[in-house]
Chain A
């Protein structure tokens, strides 16, 4: 194992108009280590990594890679120096195959630049995937049909194929189940020990960080707070350093009065997606939905929200049959849906915060048939305050907000219409500990106030901590519904992989 530091960042400064993103930040990465980069949303983690990958030019500071002081840094120099990054928000080329995505720009040619060698391309890709033990995707799969988790795996394969010395992973496990996460960690440890590759791991999932990291560095408000060996820092202390205050409970699900059946789904069938789905949702209840990737949870949510055609089955709200054919129907019935992928189906990226908050809510602001901007300001102002959304103004474009703040805007958007049934799909994916706790507390409050919540989550601690009951899906059907007290990780996993089934 090589000694010393593969990357040394010293006193990095980066300013944007109106904000000091990074102030004298230090970061060191040893050869063959996994360094966890921790901090709340807006702490500067993404910015720091963008400096390391050459996307941003630091205003001042020193960068040393592999013992060489770096001057004239750029994206290409970064790649040449062995730095690569897997982003939190994936952007694959959807029209192309897995192989073409991995080797984009580096395809093997029979005649250079003129005749692509497709056989070699697919062969190389298959070899790479085999080496990393990735069985879920094959070289010829179209990127368009892949789930988020599978796209992540392709990204990892791509980064490894660049013979990187340092691979930065930004929230890589946000939407990967625990089983796939363990696989991923095996791959990382493998690459670390056998190939001396280092990893910078950015994640808000503390359990995973403690599983995989060797050292932890904490940023807060653009400054480096400190670096610790993993065994020298307790989770509580880590959180304290990250937020600067104590967080008493991560999953504060308080007991709420569970009332009558609010939503009743019977024998719901959607061709190719859902088979015989039946469950009840009570008032004041949080019903968690667990399952592996591809189990059909998002498809169920989409169906309840009018995005898929129902072949057979009934949906009842308050005991009455309802027909939901479009999102508008669902909204009228008091159902709100916070989608899984905020970038592609949630945010209006080139619009400001006001537009993003108001998109389904304009009717609420109308006085005398026309939109009243005074009411709009009030509604948006309350939303920003209630959800502690960090933004200089309502006119700020949402794409300049951090991921966690964007998510808060979306949560605020959907709650503004005071829905009685709230479906949330991976609500705290890629969100810092502080905001996560806030959002969980919020859902807890909503349940206490009588709202009914369906919470889809791949984070077992979250599902187990927040749900009153947990429904587990497997390949388009529900295999079991467990009470909070009888659920443990192994049981849930058994139902999720189809080993157990209450209905067979």
Chain B
């Protein structure tokens, strides 16, 4: 009797979860169906792999954005972190010290410091996250330009190039890295106290404090995590474009935040999933890809991208309202 109760209960909750997330994936599937009818090369494996590779960068950064959003904060700086990391890691070719592992660690450390700067200012004096991360975004871009005096750096180490442009079988490295980071993030959110505390803090910070959670420390570390993810994205992207570009990543925060929100992360805090980030990033990726295949001008593409973001949030709002 207990066993059937358990399976039927988990069956019900599975269906409920599916319904919650069903909204966005329906949009994605509709888009895919339309595109495969209207074009003849959307549904090719080459094109689909292209999409995955293109969204991998937004998705990696989006994981960090999602976690920050869950704590009721926001991060406007990941694009600049990408730029700083790009020039820092590209120096491996220039200096001749081509040990990719060392440069990888350096990138993570720089990303973590950047994130810590964001996190400390947001968590301890409680400064508004939007303003703080906007400031670090601009400062970061300045730092990247300063390091290279505005010039790109070429002559990258071949391992770094592989990270960005290589493949394992048919699957591009960026996609593999995205998958690994998605798994790690999913694990952190589900199986660590840190992950659970993030949702508590975003839902009710005072109640979280009373539950014994060190809310300030956890909040700071979320920004550190986001910084690290941005730095990984930066390294891989640098490998892909085969040069250190101080302007790399400009505007990426928009896509990463949009991907997270489309995937269901609530800006009011306490809600967000890895699955949502992936689906949300795919929605953006499929849209961009479709518009490219259809030859839509890049100006119209911008209008379409902005509209999809608004539509997704509207759809989510309507779904929540019907629940009540």
Q: Name the residue in B193, B199, B210, B266 with the highest tally of chain A Cβ atoms < 10 Å from its Cβ.
A: B210
Q: How far is the CB of B17 from chain A (nearest CB, A)?
A: 8
Partner pick for B211 among A327, A393, A395, CB 8 A cutoff: A327
Partner pick for A346 among B197, B207, B212, B213, CB 8 A cutoff: B207
Do residues A327 and B200 form an inter-chain contact, with CB atoms below 8 A? no
Within 8 A of A (CB), among B148-207: 187, 190-193, 196-197, 199-200, 203-204, 206-207
Do residues B200 and A328 form an inter-chain contact, with CB atoms below 8 A? no
Q: How far is the CB of A330 from chain B (nearest CB, A)?
A: 8
Q: How far is the CB of A383 from chain B (nearest CB, A)?
A: 15
Does A347 count as interface, using CB distance less than 8 angstroms?
yes
Chain A residues positioned under 8 Å from B207 (CB to CB):
344-348, 359
Select from chain A the residue with minimum beta-carbon distance to B203: A348
Chain A residues positioned under 8 Å from B213 (CB to CB):
328, 359-360
Does A349 count as interface, using CB distance less than 8 angstroms?
yes
Q: Name the residue in B203, B213, B214 with the highest tally of chain A Cβ atoms < 10 Å from its Cβ.
A: B203
Do residues B211 and A371 form an inter-chain contact, with CB atoms below 8 A? no
Q: Name the residue in A326, A348, A355, A366 with the highest tally of chain B Cβ atoms < 10 Å from its Cβ.
A: A348
Chain A residues positioned under 8 Å from B16 (CB to CB):
395
Do residues A326 and B196 form an inter-chain contact, with CB atoms below 8 A? no
Select from chain A the residue with minimum beta-carbon distance to B266: A350
Chain A residues positioned under 8 Å from B268 (CB to CB):
350
Chain B residues positioned under 8 Å from A307 (CB to CB):
209-210
Do residues B192 and A348 form an inter-chain contact, with CB atoms below 8 A? no
Q: Annotate A355-383 by CB proximity to B: 1 below 8 A, 0 otherwise.
A: 10011101100100011000000000000
Chain A residues positioned under 8 Å from B212 (CB to CB):
326-328, 330-331, 360
Do residues A337 and B210 form an inter-chain contact, with CB atoms below 8 A? yes
Chain A residues positioned under 8 Å from B193 (CB to CB):
362-363, 366, 371
Contacts A326-B214, A393-B9 given; does A351 touch B192 at CB 8 Å: no
Select from chain A the residue with minimum beta-carbon distance to B197: A362
Do residues B211 and A351 form an inter-chain contact, with CB atoms below 8 A? no
Partner pick for A360 among B9, B191, B211, B270, CB 8 A cutoff: B211
Do residues B191 and A370 form an inter-chain contact, with CB atoms below 8 A? yes
Q: How far is the CB of B273 from chain A (nearest CB, A)?
A: 13
Q: How far is the CB of A362 from chain B (nearest CB, A)?
A: 5
Contacts A328-B212, A363-B193 given; does A348 touch B200 at CB 8 Å: yes
In the bound complex, how far is the Cα of B211 from the Cα of A91, in angstroms?
23
Chain B residues positioned under 8 Å from A393 (CB to CB):
9, 12-13
Select from chain A the residue with minimum beta-carbon distance to B195: A371
In the bound complex, how far is the Cα of B208 from the Cα of A209, in angstroms?
36
Q: Name the residue in A305, A345, A359, A395 with the highest tally of chain B Cβ atoms < 10 Å from its Cβ.
A: A359
Does A339 count as interface, using CB distance less than 8 angstroms?
yes
Q: How far is the CB of B178 from chain A (nearest CB, A)?
A: 23
Within 8 A of B (CB), among A124-171: none
Q: Name the residue in B204, B212, B213 with the highest tally of chain A Cβ atoms < 10 Å from its Cβ.
A: B212
Do residues B200 and A351 form an inter-chain contact, with CB atoms below 8 A? yes
Select from chain A the residue with minimum beta-carbon distance to B209: A327
Does B271 count as interface, using CB distance less than 8 angstroms?
yes
Select from chain A the residue with minimum beta-carbon distance to B13: A395
Do residues B191 and A351 form an inter-chain contact, with CB atoms below 8 A? no
Partner pick for B214 among A328, A330, A350, CB 8 A cutoff: A328
Chain B residues positioned under 8 Å from A326 (CB to CB):
212, 214
Q: Name the residue in A330, A337, A370 with the highest tally of chain B Cβ atoms < 10 Å from its Cβ.
A: A370
Q: How far is the CB of A241 from chain B (nearest CB, A)?
A: 31
In the bound complex, how far is the Cα of B187 from the Cα of A345, in angstroms?
28
Chain A residues positioned under 8 Å from B200 (CB to CB):
348, 351, 355, 359
Do residues B199 and A351 form an inter-chain contact, with CB atoms below 8 A? yes
Do residues B203 and A349 form an inter-chain contact, with CB atoms below 8 A? yes
Partner pick for A351 among B9, B203, B210, CB 8 A cutoff: B203
Select from chain A the residue with minimum beta-carbon distance to B16: A395
Contacts A351-B199, A351-B270, A355-B199 given; does A305 touch B204 at CB 8 Å: no
Do residues A355 and B13 form an inter-chain contact, with CB atoms below 8 A? no
Q: How far is the CB of A375 from chain B (nearest CB, A)?
A: 12
Within 8 A of A (CB), among B197-249: 197, 199-200, 203-204, 206-214
In the bound complex, how far is the Cα of B207 from the Cα of A346, in angstroms?
5
Do residues B190 and A371 form an inter-chain contact, with CB atoms below 8 A? yes
Chain B residues positioned under 8 Å from A330 (CB to CB):
212
Do residues A359 and B211 form an inter-chain contact, with CB atoms below 8 A? yes
Contacts A362-B196, A371-B196 given; does A350 touch B203 at CB 8 Å: yes
17 more A-B residue pairs beyond the given contacts A344-B206, A348-B203, A362-B197, with a C-beta to C-beta distance below 8 A: A305-B210, A327-B209, A344-B207, A345-B210, A346-B207, A348-B199, A350-B266, A350-B268, A351-B270, A355-B196, A359-B207, A363-B193, A370-B191, A371-B193, A371-B196, A393-B12, A395-B13
Q: Give 19 CB contacts A-B under 8 Å.
A: A327-B211, A328-B213, A337-B210, A339-B210, A344-B207, A348-B204, A349-B204, A350-B203, A351-B199, A355-B203, A359-B213, A362-B196, A362-B197, A363-B193, A366-B193, A370-B187, A370-B192, A371-B191, A371-B193
Counting from the closest, the 6 A-B pairs by CB-CB distance are: A360-B211, A348-B203, A370-B191, A359-B211, A331-B212, A328-B212
